[in-house]
Amino acid sequence: MNNAAVIDPYDPRSLLRLGDAWRCRAGLTTLMATLTCGAVLFVLGAASHSAVLPALLGLVSFVVYLFGSTAAGTQFMELATGKPVRGTLLAVMSAPMIVLRSLGLVLTIAAVLLAFML
């Protein structure tokens, strides 16, 4: 019998334990603060009568969403791996390096795809 096929419901990294993410208050706080700040920035941009301000605030809102969701994902991953969950400020401060690596990966994949299509 193959042990890889056995699903252990008590394994902390199992998808069956997905509901445990509700216990990560730091991650939920980061996620709610991100959604609130991003929505406020987007609404302020949409309510302005300027031509440039909505685009600028929309871009800032996107960056807030990107960094905040990365920080919250880091906190949820720390909970899932059993490590101590860092606070919101520390998670947000570590988010730019993760986002830069992710954007580098996306640009590399896009370049390979473009070279393949040519």
Q: What are the boundaries of each domain within the chain?
A: 12-117
Sign of the dihedral defined by the CA atoms of residues 15, 18, 19, 20, in that order:
positive
**In a 3-state reduction of DSSP, which class is residue 66?**
helix
Per-residue pLDDT reduced to its tens digit, 24-64? 888 899 999 999 999 999 899 888 888 899 999 999 999 99
5 pLDDT more than 70 = no
Kindly report the number of other CB atoms within 10 A of residue 88's CB atom. Answer: 20
Task: Give the mean pLDDT of 73-78.
Answer: 88
Kindly report the number of other CB atoms within 10 A of residue 101's CB atom. Answer: 10
Two tokens, residue 59: 């871009």
CB 29 within 8 A of CB 88: yes
Intra-chain end-to-end CA distance of the chain, in Å: 47
Task: Give the mean pLDDT of 81-94.
Answer: 88
Share of the chain above pLDDT 70, in %: 83
The helix-helix angle for 25-47 and 88-117 (nearest 10°) equals: 70
pLDDT value of position 41: 92
Q: What is the pTM of this model?
A: 0.74
pLDDT value of position 72: 92
**CB half-sphere exposure, 52, CA atoms < 13 A:** 0
Two tokens, residue 33: 């603060």
For 13, which DSSP code? T
Higher pLDDT, 82 or 105: 105
